[in-house]
Amino acid sequence: MPRVLVTGCSTGFGLAIAQRFLAADWEVVATMRNPGEGVLPPQERLTVLPLDVTDADSIAAAVAQAGPIDALVNNAGVGILNALEGTTIEKVREIFETNTLGPIALTKDVMPQLRERRAGVIVNVSSSVTVKPLPALATYSASKAALNAFTESFAHEAALFGVRVRLVLPGSSPATSFGQNAVARMGMEIPDPYKAFVMDYLGELRGSSDVTQPEDVAQAVWRAVTDPATPMKTPAGADAVTWFREAGLPVD
C-alpha cells in the first residue's frame, strides 16, 4: 500500500490533501506543528506526527517515525500581507524559514530513501502569485518564487534516480486559516502611506468569488503524485488557472 507524508495538515489545503489520499486507500502520515489542534479523526492508514519544518531535530524525528514513504507533499506554509516597509526583517526570515528552507530541509532528509529505491514523488505546494504578482505580497511571493526555482532545478538531480519532483500552484484562498493568518501577521503595522492601498486590495480579495478551494489543491496534488505525465507546474483553483492563461502558461 503506497504511503505519503504531508506537511501542514491541521487545516486548509493540508487537511484536504490528507483526506484525498486516505479516500484513495493510501497510508497517510499527516504532520502538523500541534497534532492536538488537528481535526483529522483517528482511522486506519492514518498516522499523525508533530513536525515543525523550521526545526532540524523535528524534521529528523518525523522522517524517522514516518518510515519508508512513496511520496512527500511539502504543503506547510505561512503567509503575510503587508507593504514591505511594514514588514520586519524578523517576519521576512520567518516566512522564508517556513516556505522555502523548510521544504528544502525536508526534501534533503527524505531524498536518500527515495534515491536508494530509485522511485518516489516529491510535490511542493507553491503559489500562483509567482505567476501573477499581486499587491502587498512581495515577501510571500519571493519565498514561493525561491521554492519554485529550487524545485525546478532539484528535479534534474532527482530524475537521475527515478524520483519525480513537481509543483502545485494554488490561487488565492482568503477564507482558509492560511489566508486569515496572513492578514493577522499584518496586524496594525501597515505604514500610513500604504494603508489605503493595502486595505483596498484586502477588501477586493475578500469580495472575490473566484478563489481556490482546498479541494482544488488536493486534486492537483493527487494528480501530480499519481500521474507521471503531470507538467512541472500545475495550477490549482479557478483563479490560478486564469492567471496561468493570462501569463501564456499551458493549462491541461
Between 9 and 179, name the one with better pLDDT: 9
Active site residue 140: yes
- Model pLDDT, residue 89: 94
Range with lowest mean pLDDT among 173-182, 189-198, 239-248: 173-182
Which of 74, 63, 105, 66 has the alpha carbon at shortest distance from 9?
74
Catalytic residue among 13, 21, 140, 243: 140
Q: How far apart are CA 102 and CA 34, in angstroms?
A: 16
Nearest to 20 by CA among 214, 199, 150: 214
Position 37 scores a pLDDT of 82
Q: How confident is the model at residue 123 (pLDDT cuts 50, 70, 90)?
A: very high
How large is the angle between the packed helices 214-226 and 12-23, nearest 10 degrees? Answer: 50
Phi, psi of 148 (to 5 degrees): -60, -50
CA end-to-end distance (rounded Å), the chain: 29
pLDDT at 77 over 70: yes
Share of the chain above pLDDT 90, in %: 78
Q: What is the mean pLDDT of residues 122-128?
A: 98
How confident is residue 190, by pLDDT bands cut at 50, 70 and 90? confident
Q: In CATH, which superfamily holds the domain spanning 3-246? A: NAD(P)-binding Rossmann-like Domain (3.40.50.720)
Residue burial 72-104, b: 16+ Cβ < 10 Å; e: rest: bbbbbbbbbbbbeebbeeebbebbbbbbbbbbb
pLDDT tens, position by position, 229-247:
999 999 999 999 999 999 9
Is the torsion defined by CA of 175, 167, 141, 143 positive or negative? positive
Q: Residue 181 has which C-alpha cell?
A: 493568518
Q: CA 170, 5, 167, 92: dihedral to nearest 10 degrees?
A: 70
pLDDT at 173 over 90: no
CA angle 56/58/61 to nearest 5° reads 110
Rounded Cα gap, residues 38 and 141, in angstroms: 27
What is the tens place of the pLDDT at every residue in 19-73?
A: 999 999 999 999 999 998 888 999 999 999 999 999 999 999 999 999 999 999 9
Instruction: Output the nine-digit C-alpha cell for 38.
Output: 488537528
Question: 56: burial class by Cβ within 10 Å (0-12, 13-18, 19+)?
Answer: exposed
pLDDT band at 203 (very low <50, low <70, confident <90, very high): confident
Return the pLDDT at 174.
Answer: 64
% of the chain residues with pLDDT over 70: 91
- CA torsion sign for 62, 64, 67, 68 is positive
Cell representation of residue 93: 526570515
